[in-house]
A and B are shown apart, each in its own frame.
Chain A
Amino acid sequence: MMWSEKYRPKSLLEMIGNEEAKESFVKWVANWTRGAKPILLVGPPGVGKTTMALLVAKQFGYDLVSLNASDVRNKQRLEEILNPALGNLGLLGKIMIFVDEVDGIHGRADFGGVSALLQILKEPTVPIVLAANSESSDKMKDIRKASVTIRMMPIPPRLLRLYLESILQKEGESLRVGTLIKLVLDSRGDIRSMLNSAQALVGGFEPQTEKSFETTDVESAVNAFFKARSRDEAMAILFSLRMDPQEKINAFYSSIITSHLSKNDMSEMLDIVSEADILYGRIMREQQWRLLRYLDSILVKLYRKDAAVRYSQYNLPWPLITRLRWDGKAIKDLETALSRRMHVSRSSFATFYLPYLLRCVKNKTLEMDLDPAQTEVIQKELSSAK
């Protein structure tokens, strides 16, 4: 079981840091009356916004109706979920609404979500708690106006160290002081990330070197993945490679297709990359971010002991890239020069004129006064057209 879940605080007293914010929040819930402005908890990830809402709801006897970032939160969906809760108060008992990551309501999938939420915020009949990582975006302006903001700050590093040491003590584990301090600093005030990293370290990931791949570049990570001694080590590298999922897939794709592999290996690996790409496409299309956790489980299937795959940034063979880059530039220069002479745009020249020009030059029906570089480009084009 993940430590972040196992040691999730059971009461507000078990949480560390942001004591004033907690007190203000408790006061707000204790004094809540119908029509009171909703509360907006703003703070970086892992400082305890969600935990605080869950604990306070439990301690004050509220049933929490919660919407998080993995739910589709467009106008229709918000009304479907929240209107019954707001309209049947007698039937449902004491209800508190919690909308997590409210700054993440955007895009086509959540169309109309913010305006629908604002409508509900204007006349709250139940306590409404919103949580956001940031309050600076434009769409947050209206939400901020309609609510009371409580800011939560990252936890000071020494307090994090104290907390981590208490957890390690409960688990009967220990880490070297240097490692402990590195974990605390890398977490940047995020308790959840600190506990996850500590658990991974204690569990045997990267035990020899204590080197984290989080700080290394994609090249080192992809190379380390294919050089890993075991599937578990490869999985640990994948987990710690924190980058845009699409870029992660692209890095593996370009590395595989430019490596010298047997046809079967190449085909199997490309199937796996394709599977990962389909999953990510579905995540983006349907905004089902909860599926993202399966991406690494798919990509780890690429691992083969001693696979001859090394990182490559480019997804085309090098000779082709060189030709595209340098010959493309030379042709572009030629097109620019000649389009001016013909009084047409460069794209028109390239589309309609250049093929005829090449044919005329080939048939020697046209003589043009070109400089040697341009003549060379035309000759090269003619030879490649053969």
Chain B
Amino acid sequence: MSWRSIPMKFPGTCTVCKKKIEVGEVALWAKGLGVKHQSCAEADVELDCAVCGGKAGCNQCEFMDDCDRTKVSQLCICKKCYEAKDSIVLYREAVSRNYKFPPQ
């Protein structure tokens, strides 16, 4: 699934906010999935915390304005896990639990 930014040739309905998207407006389109406003797409995406498995809390993140959540790797770390002791070790342990990598 890849959302592409396109200028609208035909009117459409945003899959997130259900409002109309007018001809000429720039929106995100994916084959078979429909269209959505760019602003809706950004608000829609929240990264997951690799350590605790919950949401990363992007709305409270210090990088909220600069992190394009639609274009970054989808696993991050929430504030609580980030502030924990040895958070990088916790991150690596969580990744080794959840993903299958070859033995070292």
Contacts and interface: CB of A to CB of B under 8 A. Distances in A.
A23 B77 contact: no
A135 to B, nearest CB: 11
A369 B33 CA distance: 73
B8 interface: no
A interface secondary structure, majority: helix
Interface in B74-101: 74-77, 82, 87-88, 91-92, 95-96, 98-101
Interface string A1-43: 0000000001111101111111100110010000000000000
B interface secondary structure, majority: loop
A8 to B, nearest CB: 15
B14 to A, nearest CB: 24
Contacts of A47: 73
A109 interface: no
A16 B99 contact: no
Contacts of B21: none
Contacts of A162: 77, 82, 87-88, 91
Contact of A156 (B76, B87, B96, B104): B76
Contact of B63 (A153, A156, A165, A166): A156
B63 A185 contact: yes
Interface stretch (B22-30, B34-42, B64-72): B64-72
Most chain B CB atoms below 10 A, which of A20, A152, A154, A162: A162
A158 interface: yes
Nearest to B66: A185
A181 B102 CA distance: 34
B102 A158 contact: no
B71 A153 contact: yes
B47 A13 contact: no
A156 B69 CA distance: 8
A11 B15 CA distance: 41
B75 A19 contact: yes
B73 A153 contact: yes
Interface in A284-334: none
A155 B102 contact: no
Contact of B56 (A18, A30, A158, A166): A158
A270 interface: no
A21 B75 CA distance: 11
Interface of B: 47, 50, 56, 61-63, 66-67, 69, 71-77, 82, 87-88, 91-92, 95-96, 98-104
Please name the 9 residue pairs, one residue from A and one from B, whose CB atoms are nearest each other, closest first. A157-B63, A17-B73, A156-B76, A166-B88, A153-B73, A59-B102, A156-B72, A12-B101, A11-B104
5 contacts: A13-B101, A13-B104, A19-B50, A152-B73, A185-B63
